[in-house]
Amino acid sequence: MRDEIHVETVSDPRLLGCIRSLVRAYAAGLGFAEERVRDIVLAVDEACANAIRHSYGGRNDGAVTIVLKSSEEWMELELTDAGAPAPPERIVRRELERPTPETARPGGLGVQLMYEVFDEVRFTPGAVRGNHVIMRLRRPERKDT
């Protein structure tokens, strides 16, 4: 892996806009189409929002580390926090159903959006504390012609 960027930040929702700008620029630089860039930004934002809301329960001073990496084939994003480990049922992939207005429920969507967008999502909640998630996406084929 090369072209790495490490960001040490805190679980403050006011910083999410800055993180989105960084991820947008990074993904665009790897040649992803505009619509894919938008999806990637959304999925990473969801991962950060989960750290804020769930790992740290809304606390705005928890440590969050974001690493952006790329290789010829992949873009990879790693997010680490030191908050409460996610319960297993929160981080499994579920089949998203089309609800009716009666059955629609707010919440629980962020993790599913991460799975929707990335090719691989691997959560590793800590035994006592902390969470680690790696999200990978295959880069677009380069057109050499």
Please name the residue ranges forming H helices in 1-144. Answer: 16-29, 34-50, 110-117
Residue 61 in the binding site for another protein (CB under 8 A): no
- Please identify which residue in 101, 128, 142, 143 interacts with another protein, judged by CB under 8 A: 101
**Contact present, 118 and 45 (Cβ < 8 Å):** no
Select 3 or 58, whichever has its Cβ closest to another protein: 58
Residue 52 in the binding site for another protein (CB under 8 A): yes
- Please identify which residue in 2, 105, 142, 143 interacts with another protein, judged by CB under 8 A: 105
Select 102 or 144, whichever has its Cβ closest to another protein: 102
- Please identify which residue in 4, 73, 96, 140 interacts with another protein, judged by CB under 8 A: 96
Coil, strand or helix: which one is 14?
helix
Which of these segments, 75-83, 110-118, 119-127, 134-142, binds another protein (CB under 8 A)?
Answer: 110-118
Residue 46 in the binding site for another protein (CB under 8 A): yes
What percent of the chain is helix, strand and coil (3-state, nearest 5)?
Answer: 35, 25, 40
Could you tell me the CA-to-CA distances from 11 to 49, 50, 52, 137 in Å, in that order?
8, 10, 5, 25
Backbone angles phi, psi at 124, to 5 degrees: -130, 90
In the numeric block, which tokens belong to residue 5?
């960027």
Residues that bind another protein (CB under 8 A): 13-14, 16-17, 20, 35, 38-39, 41-42, 45-46, 49, 52-53, 96-102, 104-107, 109-110, 112-113, 116-117
